[in-house]
């Protein structure tokens, strides 16, 4: 009896017909209901040939589809097949005996504990933490270190000069990154180096730059070491690339990409406190480092007397070195062409784990591929591993419209967010305006008097320890928002909407920030501002800023990652993105630091802040042109051939 021929009820059942029925049953589990059937007399091979031809047509059409269109159309076309295939694998009957429809895993919230390869993510997080720890610790004392650098004539630089120098110091680091970020991105994609070694070079370069800066005795030397640290550091883009390669399933990406900005906020908490507490130890802890102290000797500790800001940088260098060791002995290379190459650091770690701790090697994580035709789930079972893609997209072809718009919006966001970090600590360190005092360091015009809402000047005159506390508030609020609020709202709103809503917070922050200098204080000028109203308003400003950063920075990282037109240039795209952000973060502190100095001399301390609000408005406009890609907008001929082999 031919396969697929219906049984006649009047015909007696035999062993042979029973076996045929079993064959029919087995064959039809491979086919979606309502899609293809054997009842038209076609053989099993004919049906499978038709299924293969349909899949080939779908692959050719995918080349120009947007990710959202691709998802919707694919879901409509294969809805019945997906339901049947899923039910065949893990569905259970409901109370009425009908197969239950399992909930799509992409619709389920993702928890932190469900992230794959947590040990690898932890090492990247540690490496990322060491950098903001270094960068933010110096912000609590940079104003005073620059004040300690004498002018050629031996005089102390003015406050407006220090504000401009602080901008140049920040620009030296980011400017060097701008010149080398694309190079590091290309080297991260190169088989001769790879992701892991590029990050290791970045950590060691930051260590050298931090030590050199701590022992600087002039502004020129400090600029040089900041430039060296930035030139050797292209880590941010490479780390994002590695996260996208470690966590390949999109449903995990919102939490995985949140790790880097969340780690930044941890660094913002610890770094300023560390810098504020360890800066100038001879003056801060005379009983320990001063003359006659336990570590001071007769005339005080000679090293910290000559280099009063070296101690926090020595601590930072130690932390960076520990991160480098963790990376050498624990991080796995994610570049596809280097995964099978020997890694002696990992070999030593595994040998110690196996011989000393008696631990067995763990199984690797691989994302479950979604079949284009779920009806073939039994045929494709055991053949889910995707073949390695040999195709390489040329550099000249990466510049798709979506990537260009995403990079513009990313650059504008990096400009004002990076400038805020630089301008904020300068503003908090700036001396207060004293209506009854000489105000010599502010260099105001003759007979100047404040006239709200625009003509007012001065800062808060906070010392390093208080600045460290103010910056730590920034980190504490930020990490709580990122842990408690961002995952839930981002899951509900989606990446693109979260990003666009976040951009609305920044202009408001910059409009209200300078008014902190006129908030009533419990202490008179020129002493530092204090009191509940001052700290409440300061926290209010930081809350607005951090609402924008909490949703904006992880979202823009995901959008840049998904704007990559092809997987083979993912590291290059992140390198270009870091180069763009470095360029804008170089221009921002220099431009707005100069405007801040001009504003101080004119008696308008809000000049730089309000100009920065204008840049944030431009960022909102640019964000309307950004769309969320799928990371594979361009399909090469080799990709189609690899997809064809998977279907066979």
Q: Of the ranges 270-279, 378-387, 429-438, 567-576, which one carries the lowest mean pLDDT score?
A: 378-387
Higher pLDDT, 135 or 646: 135
Mean pLDDT score, 205-227: 91
Distance, in Å, from the CA atom of 450 to the CA atom of 440, rounded to the nearest integer, reads 16
Q: What is the pLDDT of residue 55?
A: 61
Over 50: is that where the pLDDT of 221 sits?
A: yes
Structural fold of domain 116-337+394-623: Growth Hormone; Chain: A; (1.20.1250)
Q: In this predicted structure, what is the pLDDT of residue 109?
A: 58
Helix (H, G, I), strand (E, B) or coil at 221: helix
Q: What is the mean pLDDT of the chain?
A: 76
Higher pLDDT, 628 or 65: 628
Specify the pLDDT at position 478: 73
Q: Is the pLDDT of residue 22 over 50?
A: no
Residue 223: pLDDT above 50?
yes
pLDDT of residue 638: 65
Cα–Cα distance, 138 to 140 (Å, whole number)? 5
Predicted pLDDT of residue 485:
78
Model confidence at 35: pLDDT above 60? no
Query: Is the distance from CB of 417 to CB of 588 less than 8 angstroms?
Result: no
- Cα of first residue to Cα of last residue in the chain, in angstroms, is 29
Predicted pLDDT of residue 488: 77
pLDDT 10s digits, 466-521: 777 777 776 777 777 777 777 778 778 888 898 999 999 999 999 999 999 889 99
Higher pLDDT, 574 or 610: 610
Contact predicate 373/81, CB 8 Å: yes
User: How far is Cα 466 from Cα 140, in angstroms, rounded to an integer?
Assistant: 8
pLDDT band at 46 (very low <50, low <70, confident <90, very high): low
Token duo for residue 45:
């091979």
Q: Mean pLDDT across the stretch 433-440?
A: 72
Respond yes or no on whether the N-terminal peptide bond of residue 453 is cis (omega within 30° of 0).
Answer: yes
pTM of the predicted protein model = 0.61
- What per-residue confidence (pLDDT) applies to 363? 54
DSSP-H helix ranges across 436-516: 464-480, 486-493, 495-502, 505-512
> Residue 230 pLDDT more than 80?
yes
Closest listed residue to residue 419, CA positions, set 611, 196, 207:
611
């Amino acid at each position: 009896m031919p396969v697929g021929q219906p049984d006649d009820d009047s015909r007696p059942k035999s062993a042979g017909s029973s076996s045929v029925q079993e064959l029919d049953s087995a064959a039809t589990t491979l086919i979606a209901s309502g899609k293809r059937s054997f009842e038209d007399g076609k053989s099993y091979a004919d049906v499978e040939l038709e299924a293969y031809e349909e899949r080939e047509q779908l692959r050719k059409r995918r080349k120009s589809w947007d990710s959202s269109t691709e998802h919707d159309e694919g879901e409509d076309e294969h809805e019945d097949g997906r339901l049947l295939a899923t039910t065949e694998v893990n569905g259970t009957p409901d109370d009425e005996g009908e197969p239950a429809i399992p909930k799509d895993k992409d619709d389920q919230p993702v928890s932190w504990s469900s992230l794959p390869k947590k040990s690898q993510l932890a090492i990247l997080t540690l490496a990322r933490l060491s950098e903001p720890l270094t960068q933010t610790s110096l912000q609590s004392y940079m104003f005073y270190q620059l004040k300690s650098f004498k002018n050629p004539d031996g005089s102390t630089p003015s406050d407006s000069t220090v504000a401009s120098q602080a901008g140049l110091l920040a620009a030296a680091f980011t400017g060097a990154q701008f010149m080398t970020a694309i190079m590091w991105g290309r080297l991260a994609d190169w088989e001769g180096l790879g992701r892991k070694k590029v990050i290791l070079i970045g950590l060691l370069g930051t260590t050298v730059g931090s030590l050199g800066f701590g022992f600087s005795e002039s502004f020129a030397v400090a600029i040089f070491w900041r430039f060296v640290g930035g030139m050797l550091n292209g880590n941010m883009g490479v780390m994002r690339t590695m996260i996208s390669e470690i966590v390949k399933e999109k449903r995990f990406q919102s939490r995985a990409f949140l790790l880097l900005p969340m780690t930044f906020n941890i660094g913002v908490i610890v770094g300023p406190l560390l810098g504020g507490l360890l800066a100038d130890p001879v003056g801060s802890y005379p009983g320990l480092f001063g003359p006659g102290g336990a570590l001071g000797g007769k005339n005080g500790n000679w090293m910290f007397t000559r280099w009063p800001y070296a101690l926090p940088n020595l601590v930072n260098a130690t932390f960076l070195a520990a991160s480098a060791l963790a990376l050498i002995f624990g991080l796995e290379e994610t570049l596809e062409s280097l995964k099978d190459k020997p890694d002696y650091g990992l070999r030593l770690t595994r040998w110690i784990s196996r011989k000393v701790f008696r631990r067995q090697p763990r199984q690797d994580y691989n994302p479950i591929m979604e079949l284009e035709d779920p009806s073939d789930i039994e045929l494709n079972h055991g053949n889910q591993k995707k073949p390695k893609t040999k195709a390489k997209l040329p550099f000249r072809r990466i510049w798709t419209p979506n990537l260009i718009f995403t990079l513009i919006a990313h650059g504008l966001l990096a400009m004002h967010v990076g400038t805020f970090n630089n301008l904020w600590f300068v503003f908090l360190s700036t001396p207060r305006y004293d209506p009854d005092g000489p105000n010599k360091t502010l260099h105001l015009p003759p007979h100047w008097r404040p006239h709200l809402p625009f003509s007012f000047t001065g800062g808060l005159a906070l010392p390093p320890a208080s600045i460290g506390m103010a910056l730590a508030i920034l980190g504490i609020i930020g990490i709580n928002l990122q842990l408690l609020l961002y995952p839930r709202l981002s899951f509900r709103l989606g990446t693109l909407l979260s990003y666009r809503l976040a951009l609305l917070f920044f202009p408001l922050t910059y409009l209200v920030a300078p008014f902190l200098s006129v908030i009533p204080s419990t202490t008179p000028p020129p002493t530092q501002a204090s009191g509940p109203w001052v700290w409440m308003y300061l926290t209010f400003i930081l809350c607005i800023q951090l609402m924008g950063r909490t949703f904006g920075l992880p979202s823009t990282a995901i959008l840049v990652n998904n704007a990559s037109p092809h997987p083979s240039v993912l590291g290059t795209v992140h390198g270009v993105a870091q180069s763009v952000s470095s360029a804008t973060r170089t221009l921002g502190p220099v431009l707005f630091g100069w405007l801040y100095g001009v504003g101080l001399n004119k008696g308008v301390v809000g000049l730089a802040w309000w100009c920065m609000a204008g840049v944030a408005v431009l960022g909102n406009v640019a964000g309307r042109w950004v769309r969320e890609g799928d990371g594979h907008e361009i399909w090469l001929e080799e990709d189609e051939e690899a997809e064809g082999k998977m279907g066979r």
